[in-house]
Structure 1
Amino acid sequence: MRFKILILTILYTFVLSYANPLKEEIESLIKDQDVAVGIYVESLATKSFKYILNEKMPFIPASNQKILTTATAIINLTPDYRFKTTVLTDGFIKDGVLKGNLYLKGGADPSLSEGDLKSFADYLKQLGISKIEGNIIGDDSFFSEEGRGHGWPEKDFDYCFTAPFSALSVNENCLRLEILSDKKNTVIKMYPDNDYFEIVNNLELSKKYSDYKVKVEGRKIYLFGKIKPLSKVEVSIPVENPSLFTTSVLYKVIKQSGIKITGKYYIGKTPSNTTVIITHKSQPLKEIIKKANKDSNNFYAEQIFRTLGKEILGKGDTETSATVVINTLKRAGIDVSNIRIYDGSGLSRFNQITPESISKILSYMYNTPYFFDFYQSLAVAGTDGTLKHRFKDVKGKIYAKTGYIKGVKNLSGYILSDNGEVYVFSILVNNLKSTEIANKIQESICLILANGKTQL
């Protein structure tokens, strides 16, 4: 949907009737620009100022979608919710031998790490287990789907920012390869170490230059090309079968701890006659959402998103989770007629949102007991996250969520003004040929509001 923003189509509301620097600035910036712009600005404390432009028009939100995901999560799950991963057995321990299978049951923890799995192995050792006469079975049934979202950019599937979601995941489902060379040989190390992938190293040493490629085919990783001697290079790739991969990592770390395993590893459901050996809990949700919002981590957002469907309506899939978000917005009094939800991160180009709906959920959060935890999860101007290098002239005055995919650059959040006011804002810019106009619009509006120049 392409259209030209003309001054005659601008819809705005002012409590004060005289000209305002914000209105004049916006009109001068977007005049004759072949971009789609939607704006909603409102003062929260006094309700004395409001500016709107195409506020009910649907836009691609990009990572502004994470505002809906994390706000819905903290409202429905509470800030203290923790993701759980459990280790169970259907057997018993006798003379240092676990006679039975070991189950790793995922609970969608986006922060589960190789270090956590190593701690599981260490605990098994502390129990006196030296041998497992059974299999290591991964249970990913907490979600009813695994993979990527509808409308995600296939050209980016080789990068970890599009890593698949899964109820059973480790290291954000991203495998890091470390390529080391001495004067004669090259060595490839995998982090986390695992028995899932096989490395096929066809690299050659070259004193002149390094030019190499990495190709994944099923469970084989091919490296070919040339690399200089005495080099150290890192490459990261997303894991296509995350639940089985995670199970393989546990299998590997248990063996590395000195515990023998007679069986194999695979995916299955945990039977009812099992005993819990380990319950691992993540940090509380109020800390987890910082990763999703400040750092705009797509994997964290997707894990949170599908957890909503599972915990609230009993099914961890996209459709059910989208229903939870929509229902939450409705309860907050927000018009959802122009909202479309295909994922939790904003990678999908099929998502639609309006500037009004984003601002309204931000306003709603402002009046909940969860506001501080949500507010603290947003990037801070000139300080951290995706705003660390932006808005340095008003450092610490803007708490917001960025959003960027090709042709889209959005910004929504809160502004602490020099005039003592708190503003909520959403500035959505689509159909971009370059990000320059979006940057100018967003920076101009935010600077005017932060400096208190709205003639209140």
Structure 2
Amino acid sequence: MLGIGFLFILLIILPIENDRKSAKDSNNNKHQLKQQVDQFIQQEKALQGAQIGISIRSADTGELQYEHQGDTRLKPASNLKLLTAAAALSVLGEKYRFSTEIHTDGPMKNGMLDGNLYIKGKGDPTLIPSDLDKIAKDLKKRGIRSVKGNIIGDDTWYDAVRLSQDVTWRDEHFHYGSQISALTISPDKDYDTGTVLVKVTPNEKGEKPSIQVEPETDYIQMMNQAQTVSTDEKENLKIEREHGKNSITVEGEIPAGSNVMKEWIAVWEPTNYVLDLLGQALKEHHITWSGETKTGKTPKEAKAVLAYPSMPLEEILVPFMKLSNNGHGEMFVKEMGKVVHDEGSWKKGLDVLRNAADEIGINTDTSVIRDGSGISHVNMIPANEISKLLYEVQKKDWFDAYVHALPVSGENGRMESGTLKKRLSKLNVRAKTGTLGTVSSLSGYLEGKSGETVIFSIIVNNLLDEDDGPEIEDKIVQFIHEHM
């Protein structure tokens, strides 16, 4: 029979030995991970002449498990949205709502409003055409049949600067480079603000394809210079808007029998776009006006008659992060500037973003932040700071909303997987993707083979082809999974 003293010693020694074995296994795993990733970086042809920053942390302790150029400033592309989302949740709160308001500045009698009707935008990035139809219906219910005055769009909640400072001429007609206004609208529930959806459908060989624009609007003019070609030819369509105008040209070839080609195109001056669609809605509900449809500022004495709150911020973050919606990121920046400094500008908003990041525990002195979406090639942030951000946000009350908004690996539906829909399907990953000319990035959370949650950030710059980035990132994530 074992003595009590021997049992006591055994109870002390066994946990110590288990801890030693666990620490040894952990060190072995780190060593194997380092060997495998280092070898991959050296041998991968697409990384020759490129730069890659990698940062891997324990989600439990925040301790760095591996890094490669982790403190080197690199262009993050849309991984910058991780910082913007954290700042917006911290400053505005997960239940924050944007709004659109209707004001009048005159009396109403016998169905006639003797004055102007104002639609005041306060930064709602989720306004869609059906919302304008509801506004027209609600005005009709209030007894308004005619307006003896103007229909005025008020976008002065934000400043009049439409594009962040580093958007190029090549980007400005696509949805990801759309103009920013406090009064804007999206064609559908992807919520690409300030855009129209152009659909091109092939016809018989030799004929022009059919073109449909959603929503239907006279605000843009379509030029169809495309042709339907035989089924064995390749699609070669180009859809572009002329700078400074709302003239959109479709040119090139689309094969007969092919799928409908879709492109979201940014409009010039989104405030006037909203006014055009509101005018259509008013006419459909037989509301007339005698004056002009124009932009202007709502006077202080005007009376607010209707207000339409957006969905809460925690819900808006889903299309922002999962679909990587650039317009939302820039509107969040301007909204933070408006709320904190009463100035809806990039300058004030980015000041707020940096302060919020500092309070979360990120060292913004090591970074360059020029916008809220990551579209700028001037943005720079080290991978170690992104992984640190992902560690620190776990402590916040709003973390559930934050992590829920991240794309999920595999085929889980468009608004679940988002930009990770066709990637890492056998792994449990929640992460933000990023793509920019010569740049690719992926940062988020991964369940390792041991069941431990691991934080990672991978930023690749100076690629000859940014399409090589996802394959590089996915291989590294698989290495992390195997050894953590």
| 3-state SS of 1:55 partner | coil
Q: Which residue of 2 aligns with 1:347?
A: 375
Within-5 A mapping of 1:152-163: 152-163=167-178
* Aligned amino acid, residue 408 of structure 1: V
Contact persistence 1:158–1:237 (CA under 8 A): yes
Aligned length: 437
Letter of the structure 1 residue corresponding to residue 426 of structure 2: D
On the 8 A contact 1:186/1:203 being kept in 2, the answer is no
2:77 to 58, 62, 81: 62
User: Does 2:34 correspond to 1:23?
Assistant: yes
Look up the equivalent residue of 1:239 and give its one-letter code.
V
Aligned to 1:31, what secondary structure does the other structure show? helix
| Structure 2: gaps (5+ residues) | 1-23, 187-192
Q: How much has 1:145 moved relative to structure 2?
A: 3.2
- 2:34 partner letter: K
| Matched ranges for 1:108-147 at <5 A | 108-147=123-162
| More off after superposition, 436-445 vs 414-423 | 436-445
Judge conservation of contact 1:196–1:219 (CA < 8 Å) in 2: no
Query: CA 1:371–1:70 in structure 2 vs 1: closer, same or farther (change >3 Å)?
Result: same
Deviation of 1:156 (Å): 2.6
The Cα shift of 1:256 comes to: 2.1
CA distance in 1 between counterparts of 2:226 and 2:326 reads 36
What SS class does the counterpart of residue 122 from structure 2 fall into? Answer: coil
Report if aligned partners of 2:116, 2:152 keep a CA contact under 8 Å in 1.
Answer: yes
- SS for the counterpart of 2:184 is coil
Which residue among 150, 161, 173 is the counterpart of 2:194? 173
Distance change >3 Å, CA 216–CA 434, structure 1 → 2: closer
Partner of 1:277, secondary structure, is strand
Structure 1 residue matching 2:364: 3-state secondary structure = coil
**What per-residue deviation string (whole Å, max 9, x for no partner) do you get for residues 354-381 of structure 1?**
1121111111110111111100000011
Label 1:448 to 1:286 Cα distance change in 2 as closer, same or farther (>3 A): same
Q: Does structure 1 residue 329 correspond to structure 2 residue 329?
A: no
Q: How big is each residue's C-alpha offset from its partner over 1:214-235, in whole Å with a ceiling of 9 and x where there is no partner?
A: 6547555365879999998765
Does the 8 Å CA contact 2:172/2:179 hold for their aligned counterparts? no
Alignment match, 2:219: 196
Q: Is the 8 A contact 2:360 2:393 kept in 1?
A: no
Equivalent residue in structure 2 for 1:44, among 26, 44, 59: 59
Contact 1:203 1:227 in 2 (8 A): no
Tell me how far apart the structure 1 counterparts of residues 354 and 262 of structure 2 sit (CA, whole Å): 41
Deviates more, 1:144-153 or 1:159-168: 144-153
**Residue matched to 1:6:** none
Q: Is the 8 A contact 1:15 1:50 kept in 2?
A: no
Aligned-pair CA distance for 1:157: 2.4
Match of 2:350, SS? helix
**Equivalent-residue separation in structure 2 for 1:406 and 1:202 (angstroms):** 29
Q: Which has the larger radius of gyration?
A: 2
Taking structure 1 as reference, are residues 450 and 298 closer, same or farther at Cα in structure 2, changes over 3 Å only? same
Report percent identity of matched pairs.
Answer: 30
Deviation of 1:27 after TM superposition, in Å, equals: 0.8
Partners of 1:196 and 1:331 lie apart in 2 by 44
Kindly provide the CA deviation profile for residues 409-430 of structure 1, in whole angstroms up to 9, marking residues without a partner as x: 1111111234232211111111
Residue 454 of structure 2 aligns to a residue whose secondary structure is: strand
Listed as ranges, the matches of 1:300-319 within 5 Å are 300-319=328-347
Change in Cα spacing, 1:200 to 1:109, as seen in structure 2 (3 Å) is: closer
Name the TM-score, length of structure 2 as normaliser.
Answer: 0.82
Are 2:252 and 1:221 aligned?
Answer: no
In the alignment, structure 1 residue 269 sits paired with structure 2 residue 290 = no
Report what 1:357 is aligned to.
385
Residues in 1 aligned to 2:199 and 2:27: alpha-carbon distance in whole angstroms: 63
State the Cα deviation string for residues 99-154 of structure 1 (Å, max 9, x = none).
Answer: 11111111111110111011100111111211111111111111113322222232
Aligned residues of 2:136 and 2:281 also touching (Cα < 8 A): yes
Measure the CA separation in 2 of the matches of 1:325 and 1:220: 33
1:319-340 deviations in Å (ceiling 9; x for gaps): 1111111111211232222211
In structure 2, the partner of 1:442 is: 473
Residues in 1 aligned to 2:250 and 2:319: alpha-carbon distance in whole angstroms = 35
The answer on 1:81 being equivalent to 2:96 is yes
**Counterpart check, 1:237 vs 2:265:** yes
CA distance in 2, matches of 1:85, 1:61: 33
In the alignment, the residues of structure 1 paired with residue 387 and residue 253 of structure 2 have an alpha-carbon distance, to the nearest angstrom, of 51
SS of the residue corresponding to residue 315 of structure 2 reads helix
The structure in which a higher percent of residues are helix is: 2
Partner of 1:7: none
Instruction: Give the Å deviation of 1:449.
Output: 3.2
Alpha-carbon offset, residue 185 of structure 1: 10
Secondary structure of 2:73's counterpart equals: coil
Q: 1:218 to 1:255 in 2, by over 3 A?
A: farther
- After superposition, give the CA deviation of every residue in 1:40-86 in whole Å (9 maximum; x if it has no partner): 11112245662122222110010001001111001111110011111
Q: Which residue of 2 aligns with 1:430?
A: 461
CA distance in 2, matches of 1:376, 1:260: 45
Cα distance in 1 for partners of 2:51, 2:284 equals: 56
Moved more, 18-27 or 364-373: 18-27
Distance 2:238 2:476 in 1: 46
